[in-house]
Amino acid sequence: MVVGARPNFMKVAPVVAALDKSKDNLEYILVHTGQHYDASMSRVFFEELEMPEPQVNLGVGSGTHAWQTAEVMKRFEPIALETRPDWILVPGDVNSTLACALVASKLGIRLAHLEAGLRSFDRTMPEEINRVLTDQISDLLLVPSMDGHENLTREGIPPERIHFVGNAMIDTLVRLLPLAQKRVERLMEEFGLGERYVVVTLHRPSNVDDPTSLEAILLGLSDLAESLSVIFPVHPRTRQRVVGGCLMPEGSKVKLTEPLGYLDFLALESAASLVITDSGGVQEETTYLGVPCLTVRPNTERPVTISQGTNRLVSNTREALITAASGCIREARREKHDPPALWDGHAGERVVEVLRQN
C-alpha cells in the first residue's frame, strides 16, 4: 500500500485497520513516498490516525510533476522487485498514485486503485490525468460512489474489475469524529472564533499560484470577516504568497494559522457555519457532516457531493464568493440527511474482502 499526500492517509488507514483485524493473515507493507514530507504534512497524520509507521519511506519530496513522478518510480521499483507482492494498492489521484501504478503494471504485479472512477472531465487538472491513467491499468477498481462505477463502465472497463466499496475516507471521519468534537470549544477559544465562523482551505494552483485569483479570493474572505469569523489554515507555500506578496488587504480580520492536524481541522469543520475549499476530500467530509460547502473550482470529480450533499461550485472572484457565501450563511444548515450509499464507516472492510476474494 502506497501513501504520499495527506488525503491518502485517511483513505488507507481504514484498510490498514481492517487488515490488522483480518483472520486471513494477510500481510502488508506500507510505503510512504514522501510527496508530503514535513511533520505538519505527514507525521502528525500517522499519529492521529493511529497508523503504523511506514516500513518504507522513499523520501522523494517536492518537484515538478514530471520529476516527482519519475523519482517515485525510480525509488519504488526496487521495493516492488524485492517484495514481489500479490497486490499493490494505490489510493487517490496524486503523482505517487500514478507513479506506483506504472511500476506495478510494468512489473506485472496486480494493481488495485482505491477511489477509482472519479472524473472532473477537465484534462487541464494533473489529478485528472493521474486518475484516468491509473484506472486504465488497474486490475481492481474500488469505487467510492456510483458515478465512479458509471464512468468506468462508459470507458469500457470490464464490470468484473469494478467493485463498489464506498468511501474509505469517511471510515476515518466516522471513527474519529467523537474525539474531534471534544476539541471544538477549546479551538474556538484558542483562535478567537465567534459562534458563527467560516473555515477556509485552498491549495490548487489555479487559486493560490495566480496572484490575481488569490487576491480576489482574499478580498472576498476579508469582506466575509467583517461580519463573522474566518479562519484560514495556510500551507507555507501559500502563506509566502499571501504575506510576501502583500495580497491580503490591510486590516483584514481573516485569521491565518499554520496547517492543522486532522483532528483539529475535523473539529472546526464539523461546527462551522460554512466551509470554503478547493479540496476533494473536504467536499466529501462536509457532505457527510451536513455542513454547507463552497468549492472554489469550475468543476468537481465528486458530483455526488452536489447531488446528494451540501456542496456548491463557485468561481474564484470576489463578487461570486461573497454572493454565494452570504446565501449559504443566510440559509439555515440543512437538516440531517442520509449520506451517499456505502458512506457508512465500513469501506475498509469491504476493500479487504475484495482483495481476499482475489
| Residues known to be catalytic | 203
**351 Cβ contact partners less than 8 Å away, ≥ 6 residues apart:** 14, 15, 18, 89, 112, 114, 142, 165, 168
C-alpha cell at 143: 469505487
Torsional sign, CA 220, 225, 231, 236? positive
Using DSSP, state whether 164 is helix, strand or coil: strand
Rounded alpha-carbon distances, angstroms, from residue 285 to 7, 282, 355: 11, 5, 26
Query: What is the rounded distance in angstroms from the CA atom of residue 296 to the CA atom of residue 313?
Result: 6
Query: What is the rounded distance in angstroms from the CA atom of residue 6 to the CA atom of residue 36?
Result: 7
Residue 299 CA, distance from chain mean position = 16
Q: Are 140 and 161 in contact, with CB atoms under 8 Å apart?
A: yes
* In the chain, alpha helices (H): 6-21, 43-48, 65-83, 95-107, 126-137, 146-154, 168-181, 184-190, 205-208, 211-224, 236-239, 262-271, 280-289, 304-307, 318-330, 347-357
